[in-house]
Structure 1
């Protein structure tokens, strides 16, 4: 089968590799309908990852059709069209039951969805069947694909930031996750949604997703703009969707005392000053998003056409052209690239 491999930073190829098969009783193998390139894939591409890159299979977002299941799989059948979280979870441990399947006590992460087939461990706890099967509408397919990561991650950020009626929510980051956080915050009923963006194409999509205000300034100047819009108090909640020192400082500075910061940007060299955190008196919740927890609700919202998160895909190309997709995202020519499998 075809699979996207990162040989080294900046060196992405499409190679032929063996088709995966069921190995454990809880496994499922799916035939991918679509995959995509994530902003987090750019960290190793830019040689900014702590783990050295060497012939790494890429991808962790997916929708597809089940083609094989292990003897222990109970909730799935061959032919089911499914979407799953970017993290593996058994759905039964105490952590999963508490609502944090992305930190399952018995499972973890995986990679390799930028391919024609992939093997999913703990299939019962990770995959969700999409009613009605594979959609013919490519826009709907893109919406389901977004639910696998960026929508669920943006949703978790908004939930962690306590988005809801009467609230002002600020979003730091105008990539696909940040844009989905805007969509989530508005869908959850927030009165005012503010997004930081200097790129008109991203700002335009943020407005379409429900952003009421776009702020171009960053850092302390950007945080001051938020305070000016909130009678000097700061936002009730802030979604941090970047993962840098600057983005976290901006998120904390934009939040009012007693407010909430939902941080989901993959952390790189972030160090929070203890005294600043002490004085901020904010609630912090974040990390790898428990996407599996939200999938049933997100699927239902998509099917009702209440939300259309697939609009974050600004380019769609065959999987053979994945190297060009990485380059386009690295150069910020595209927000997010969908790979047609």
Structure 2
């Protein structure tokens, strides 16, 4: 089969690799019909994090089950499924408490099981990981594209909002205008925030933020952005979503948090070496909550909203490519020419 393979910074290629096979009775083989390029994939692409050359890449799979192991009970060949970026068993201590990303049997998609930017993947612990799409929506392309962000970015934005403690009537500030930040705006609005201030650097993305429910947007940088947010929120917000992971965005998040407030952080940390923002957190008694989003804990509720037509994160996909176009998709996201790239193998 063909799959995206990482060879070093700026170098992702489509290559022929072995097809995945059933290895354990709890496995399933899924033919990928929809996947995506994630902002976190850009860290190794830009040389800002380590990744083994020759490894397969991608972690947002949706597709059709082709084969299942003897012990798989919840899915069968022909089912349309999507899967969180983190593989989980659904049965261990951490899965039972909703922390599927700490599953003792956990795994990722980028290893020998296929890499989700490819034609097929092997899904270990299929019963715990794969999420069935109701049959009536299995061929509804608009619905499928609205569901695909639930594999990662929509649930991650939701995790930021939940971690920040957003509730009905609140004011929330979202730092970051990438796909996760935009989904954070959508999540805060869904949770009933009365005001949502979106902070970013790109007017076209902030327009999507407004479509997703942002009541105000801030396109300034650095201290100018902090001052503008503080003016808009009369001194800062109790609920701040940090959706980038850079040192500058973390600093901004803590600077705009009101004393006693909470920062929900979900941006994959990259280049965060001098944690000066911790001094701000300490002096203002600001709580830091969040981390890797336990997608499997959120996906069912969010899917219900997508299927009833009250949630649609698909506008984050501003470019669509086939599998051969994945290298082009990386370039587009790296150059900020696309918010998020949809891939249809």
TM-score, with structure 2 as normaliser: 0.95
Cα RMSD, aligned residues only:
1.4
Q: Tell me the residue number matched to 1:132.
A: 135
* More off after superposition, 270-279 vs 290-299: 270-279
CA contact (8 A) 1:194 1:214 kept: yes
State whether residues 44 and 53 of structure 1, in contact with CA within 8 Å, keep that contact through their aligned partners in structure 2.
no
CA distance in 2, matches of 1:136, 1:200: 34
Alignment CA distance shift 1:6-1:133 (3 Å)? farther
Q: Is the 8 A contact 2:137 2:143 kept in 1?
A: no
Q: CA deviation at 1:143?
A: 1.1
- 1:133 shift after superposition: 5.5
Kindly provide the CA deviation profile for residues 146-184 of structure 1, in whole angstroms up to 9, marking residues without a partner as x: 110011111111111111212111111100000000001
Q: Gaps (5+ residues) in structure 2?
A: none
Measure the CA separation in 1 of the matches of 2:57 and 2:242.
Answer: 24
> In structure 1, which of residues 176, 180, 186 is the aligned counterpart of residue 179 of structure 2?
176
Aligned length: 339
Instruction: Quote how far apart the aligned CAs of 1:134 are.
Output: 5.5
Q: TM-score, normalised by structure 1?
A: 0.96
1:299 and 2:298 aligned: no
* Deviation, structure 1 residue 136: 3.1
* Structure 1 CA distance for aligned equivalents of residues 96 and 43 of structure 2: 31
Deviating beyond 4 angstroms after TM superposition, the runs of 4 or more aligned structure 1 residues are none
Structure 1 portions without partners, runs of 5+: none
Q: Counterpart in 2 of 1:288? A: 292
- Structure 1 partner of 2:256: 254
Q: Distance in 2 between matches of 1:327 and 1:294?
A: 31
Q: What is the correspondence of 1:40-55 to structure 2 with a 5 Å cutoff? A: 40-49=40-49, 51-55=50-54
**Equivalence map 1:1-341=2 (5 Å):** 1-49=1-49, 51-111=50-110, 112-132=115-135, 135-232=138-235, 234-270=236-272, 271-273=274-276, 274-341=278-345
Q: Deviations over 1:235-257 (max 9, x none)?
A: 12111111111111111111112
Structure 1 window deviating more from structure 2 (11-20 vs 168-177): it is 11-20
1:196-218 per-residue CA deviation (whole Å, 9 max, x = no partner) reads 12211101100000001101123
